[in-house]
Structure 1
């Protein structure tokens, strides 16, 4: 019982003593204070005011007021989403660090107490509790906080939010007629979703799927044999093997016409590649071979 009480006391001290280690400076205002700055413009009443302007008779001033009201509402909601997102990420990373350090302090305290304890039973209990504290930390770190993947998830959330923000910014540069509030609200919902863990994980999965498909296609392109079907292939192959039987005299002429480098001797493999490959390089070489064969055998066509 004493060991359990000591464990709880150490946990409390460890966790409470690490609140300043969340890795963020103190914001200028609390979340509630920050949201109060734009509260009027994020309420349904603001959208109703926009709708009232839209119901007025068509005029230049009406369009200007609609655009101004749209911008006011959208920018207020962007700010509110940013405030909540900052609070969310601050809490997410802070909880991970606080729990990890607190668990380490608990384990260290219990291990030290076990060293000083005189009773063998107490030593065993304290050592067991120290191992349990580290085990709990490992489980929470891996399952709840994604271990080392958490920074990657936050990075993905930031990137996804910027992508949607760029779309919203481009929309606000247009008139209300081109980018009405309804379209902006839909994009704002995407902006919010981009800053969630589920949204980030879905995007990571989607990106991985796209990259996997692209890589697979590159593998297919590299490993799939492309056979020639052009007229050059048909003429040269028909000359090499009329009626499906190789003509050795024609083969000798073809080999003599195969372009080679540094005085090397052309091989049957070289000839087969040039005649049958479907690559652009082989097509160019077929044209060279065909022109050469014509000068050596007038019957070639």
Structure 2
């Protein structure tokens, strides 16, 4: 499904507040409970479910994963564009990695909130870039209807021709098929221009959390892999890219966490640039269904019935 209306800012605010509470000495369970008590908006049900599970003594990571999985099962029956499940799973993975690696949770959550805000900005930029091509696609879809109305305005019974004569019914069938094909084609082009990954750079962020807790590279890798598996996150970054960053850290004597976070930001910048490039390309590729489907449908539904009506009236006058 399309995800253009996704908004990660509410989750970023939740993570930021939770990090501040933990930095002030509030326990993780109490932090979730306090946030759930004041929660409003679309994320409130998830917060309350996670807080309730934490109060029962369940693992917070498992509670997040279970809540997200439950929401996904509901959305599979009633899809929604505003689902932030990938980001919630990223939060669960970050929490698990920080806990296993011994990294402080408060700075971890603050960094993750910054990452989410960056991703939210990426999403807003992509929505803006896609707005014009999507609006163009919707606008040209009404051209055949305008053709029919134009014929009626000229005083010709184009609707009667379309629905009451064999040639008109043939035009209606062909034009309808072309319109359906154009709608499917436009939708496919727009969906292909939208980002498939909502959390680019998350793999580098998770590795940065793991090494910032003092874990060795092998142990950090194992912790990240286990967190991904447990939280249902697919692999994102190639191992070669991760190895390159870690090797650079070793050679230069620079903390690996700093380089990894920098690489995560660079990954998000590349994702934004790629999204903008796809949106610019979309403005051109949308001309294909326009020329091959919509304009022929306009001719078949708008012009052909008008010509048939003119010919019929001319023949009848003799």
TM-score > 0.5 by shorter chain? no
In our comparison, the structure showing a higher alpha carbon Rg is 1
TM-score relative to the length of structure 1? 0.28
TM-score relative to the length of structure 2? 0.27
Q: Which structure is richer in relative contact order (CA contacts within 8 A, separation 6 or more)? A: 2
